[in-house]
Structure 1
Amino acid sequence: MSECETWDYTLYIPNDLRAVTVCRRTLRVILTLHGLPGLVETAELLAAELVTNAVRHTKGPAALRVRRSPRGLVWIGAWDTDPEPPPPPRPLERALDLEEGRGLGLVTACAEYWGWQPSARFGDRGKYVWCELSAA
């Protein structure tokens, strides 16, 4: 497999649900300008779920990070100030009827891979919850 163009963007956001819309629109622009319009809908959905969880369940700032690997995967991560792991995802078929708690179910259903990792990248202890999409 040949290597492809790599890039890495981070958008720092306040603890405000309006930031979810800012993240979705920013992600749309990034993917479109890098020639990946076919990923936009799925990526927006997954980023919105990850960022909503980061903003809704923590009190501190958050961040959306989007990058493309040399292998062509698009990595989408939401950072927040809670170092605890996210709750296990509910199976999507059970989560769809719920008002809350379906985010990671959607992520596991739509992404190639997902996970979480502790991170202190922004001066605060916290974690990234991330997923990967194939851009090929």
Structure 2
Amino acid sequence: MPGTDVTADPWEYCLYIPNDPRAVTVSRRTLRLILTMHGLIRLVDLAELLATELISNAVRHTKGPAALRVRWSAGVLRIGAWDADPTPPEPPVPLEQVVDLEEGRGLALVKACADLWGWQPLSREGNRGKVVWCELGAA
């Protein structure tokens, strides 16, 4: 059946979004469609949670556009949120400390749920800013 071979060749998508809170929902639904079409339905719920946190931070804490980047390679799903602000993200606080907070849980959830996460500054081909990313294994 096409679209269900998770050992297939690597692929990558990038969705550029405006600085608009509605872009978070658009990103989440786009990610669900991408993963479903590539036969990775078992990763959808967790991937949606992580992408929502990453994109929400990009939209909430910066003034410019953002982008959702999704890449599959060698059995690993990488989800990234690009924004134009090169300022590093605030380090996540331990998840048990943010349970009662209204804000500030995003990166704590990412750290707790992803196999790996990080960020990197960008300044190539005229693009500036940073990417905050996380990875999920297919297992």
Runs (5+) with no aligned partner, structure 2: 1-6
TM-score (ref. length: structure 1)? 0.93
Specify the code of the residue in structure 1 equivalent to 2:90.
Answer: P
Once the two structures are TM-superposed, the CA of residue 94 in structure 1 deviates from its matched residue by 1.0
Q: Which whole-Å deviations, capped at 9, do the CAs of 1:73-127 have from their partners, x for residues lacking one?
A: 0000000011011111011111121111110000001000000001135744100
1:35 maps to which residue? 39
Once the two structures are TM-superposed, the CA of residue 5 in structure 1 deviates from its matched residue by 2.4
Q: Partner of 2:85: helix, strand, or coil? A: coil
Give the paired residue count.
133
1:133 maps to which residue? 136
Whether the aligned pair in 2 keeps the contact of 1:112 and 1:133 (CA below 8 Å) is: yes
1:59 aligns with 2:63: yes
Runs (5+) with no aligned partner, structure 1: none
1:106 maps to which residue? 109
1:119 maps to which residue? 122
1:46 maps to which residue? 50
Once the two structures are TM-superposed, the CA of residue 135 in structure 1 deviates from its matched residue by 1.4
- How many percent identity over aligned positions? 71
TM-score (ref. length: structure 2)? 0.91
Whether the aligned pair in 2 keeps the contact of 1:4 and 1:72 (CA below 8 Å) is: no
